Chain A
């Protein structure tokens, strides 16, 4: 008997004020630079000084977002912790590489090396909640978070675990910002209006960071946001083959285009790659409600976890904030939400959420 999988809680730290679960994008912040940080909660409320002293920002974000999600779900531990991160602990990696070069391999200290390990956040969460169960970290660009979702979903469906903490985390580092500007993966504009970025017509994206965690379970709790119906990741996909792949994703879930009430799109305002989304909005999903979020969150490798948060919130509240709407085809009720993302034409992901 295959079990259903539910999103029982969320915890989001992003460039918007999302760490308070009672709010839903009520108060929007606009940014005018091409690399943006998160709105920090008071980390000291969640972390004692002893455990926080070695943590770079991304680790703090990840650990605290996971705590927010666990608090909401009312659980103190979980059976497994599965994280996704596209870049890993960038700040500590940069610190260690630059010191290595600057000091010609002498007088290096271990802390930044240890913290630079890609599974640091997952390990720190386990250490903090004393979770001795399964602990995996996926590091695969823009499908890192979805890889973690697939793993969690398989375990919950097969009843190998009953409660799993899943999250996506990425942080910005100064060198990363510098070099991605040089290769124009970051937009070249000196100042920019982030809320209007989806129509910028220029190349590159606005880089940012964030952490979004979720307690997934094969038992539905009162706090339930949505059912996680299916997840698919594809390493390559051409625009010409996109609709075909969407159809087969719907088919394998016995759904049709008309069953999708809202589509959450990963547009980031990069004129070279946003055409993927146009294929769907001008084609199969012409008459569906289109939403987007990267003008609020910026772009990072696990930003689709913010799209996942948005989908879950829309289903739970049965509302669509005006700021995320790209058109005006609001459904009477939101039953199914399809989330589609890709980054620079690679690592395409489809996620289907349903009301619970």
Chain B
């Protein structure tokens, strides 16, 4: 699980061009959207594609992403439960 979390942090940084951040600077429970890391709706769409491409999980409705992408913790838990 912690490996998955590290992996996700790396992917978030790379996929979303957060070049000033390092993996260690993102806490597992840090809020990713809004006030926390400052991600927005375009980032959510990027993350939806990442779920599909890297973990085989398809989301049909972008609204579903809201709860899943709350933090690295919630993402990892969702992936563990749904990955193929």
- Whether chain A touches chain B in the assembled complex (some CB pair under 8 Å): yes
Which one, A50, A107, A108, A114, contacts B42 given CB within 8 A? A114
CA distance A114 to B18 in the complex (A): 18
Q: A50-B38, A114-B42 are in contact. Are A108 and B18 (CB under 8 A)?
A: no
Shortest Cβ distance from B50 into A: residue: A109
Q: In the complex, are the beta carbons of A109 and B46 less than 8 A apart?
A: yes
User: Does A111 sit at the interface, judged by CB under 8 A?
Assistant: yes
Q: In the assembled complex, how far is the CB of residue A22 from the closest CB belonging to chain B, in whole angstroms?
A: 30
Q: A107-B52, A107-B53, A108-B49 are in contact. Are A53 and B42 (CB under 8 A)?
A: no
User: Does B45 sit at the interface, judged by CB under 8 A?
Assistant: yes
User: Does B20 sit at the interface, judged by CB under 8 A?
Assistant: yes
Provide the residues of chain A in CB contact with B18, threshold 8 Å. 53
User: Does A54 sit at the interface, judged by CB under 8 A?
Assistant: yes
User: Does A101 sit at the interface, judged by CB under 8 A?
Assistant: no
Which one, A49, A50, A54, A107, contacts B49 given CB within 8 A? A107
Q: In the assembled complex, how far is the CB of residue A116 from the closest CB belonging to chain B, in whole angstroms?
A: 13
Q: In the complex, are the beta carbons of A49 and B20 less than 8 A apart?
A: yes
Provide the residues of chain B in CB contact with A108, threshold 8 Å. 49
Q: In the assembled complex, how far is the CB of residue B73 from the closest CB belonging to chain A, in whole angstroms?
A: 23
Q: In the assembled complex, how far is the CB of residue A151 from the closest CB belonging to chain B, in whole angstroms?
A: 29
The residues in A between 105 and 158 inclusive whose CB is less than 8 angstroms from any CB of B are: 107-111, 114
The residues in B between 1 and 43 inclusive whose CB is less than 8 angstroms from any CB of A are: 15-20, 38, 42
Residue-by-residue, is B39-67 near A (CB-CB < 8 Å gives 1, otherwise 0)?
00010011001001100000000000000
Shortest Cβ distance from B41 into A: residue: A110
Provide the residues of chain A in CB contact with B15, threshold 8 Å. 109
Residue-by-residue, is A324-336 near B (CB-CB < 8 Å gives 1, otherwise 0)?
0000000000000
Q: A110-B45, A110-B46, A111-B46 are in contact. Are A53 and B52 (CB under 8 A)?
A: no
CA distance A295 to B15 in the complex (A): 39
CA distance A110 to B15 in the complex (A): 11
Provide the residues of chain B in CB contact with A53, threshold 8 Å. 16-19
Q: In the assembled complex, how far is the CB of residue B69 from the closest CB belonging to chain A, in whole angstroms?
A: 14
Provide the residues of chain B in CB contact with A49, threshold 8 Å. 19-20
CA distance A109 to B15 in the complex (A): 10
CA distance A50 to B34 in the complex (A): 12
CA distance A336 to B52 in the complex (A): 61
Q: In the assembled complex, how far is the CB of residue A347 from the closest CB belonging to chain B, in whole angstroms?
A: 34
Shortest Cβ distance from A44 into B: residue: B20
Shortest Cβ distance from A107 into B: residue: B53
Which one, A54, A107, A109, contacts B45 given CB within 8 A? A109
Provide the residues of chain A in CB contact with B17, threshold 8 Å. 53-54
The residues in A between 76 and 114 inclusive whose CB is less than 8 angstroms from any CB of B are: 107-111, 114
CA distance A351 to B6 in the complex (A): 58
CA distance A107 to B17 in the complex (A): 17
Q: In the complex, are the beta carbons of A111 and B42 less than 8 A apart?
A: yes
Q: In the assembled complex, how far is the CB of residue A52 from the closest CB belonging to chain B, in whole angstroms?
A: 9
Provide the residues of chain B in CB contact with A111, threshold 8 Å. 42, 46
Provide the residues of chain B in CB contact with A54, threshold 8 Å. 17, 42
Provide the residues of chain B in CB contact with A110, threshold 8 Å. 42, 45-46
Shortest Cβ distance from B53 into A: residue: A107
CA distance A50 to B52 in the complex (A): 26
CA distance A252 to B28 in the complex (A): 69
Q: In the assembled complex, how far is the CB of residue A262 from the closest CB belonging to chain B, in whole angstroms?
A: 44
Q: In the assembled complex, how far is the CB of residue B12 from the closest CB belonging to chain A, in whole angstroms?
A: 12
Q: Which residues of A contact B (CB under 8 A)?
A: 49-50, 53-54, 107-111, 114
Q: Which residues of B contact A (CB under 8 A)?
A: 15-20, 38, 42, 45-46, 49, 52-53
13 contacts between A and B (CB under 8 A): A49-B19, A53-B16, A53-B19, A54-B17, A54-B42, A107-B49, A108-B49, A109-B15, A109-B46, A109-B49, A110-B46, A111-B42, A111-B46
Q: Which 4 A-B pairs have the closest CB atoms?
A: A53-B17, A107-B53, A110-B45, A49-B20
Given contacts A49-B20, A53-B16, 9 further A-B contacts (CB under 8 A): A49-B19, A50-B38, A53-B17, A53-B19, A107-B49, A108-B49, A110-B45, A111-B46, A114-B42
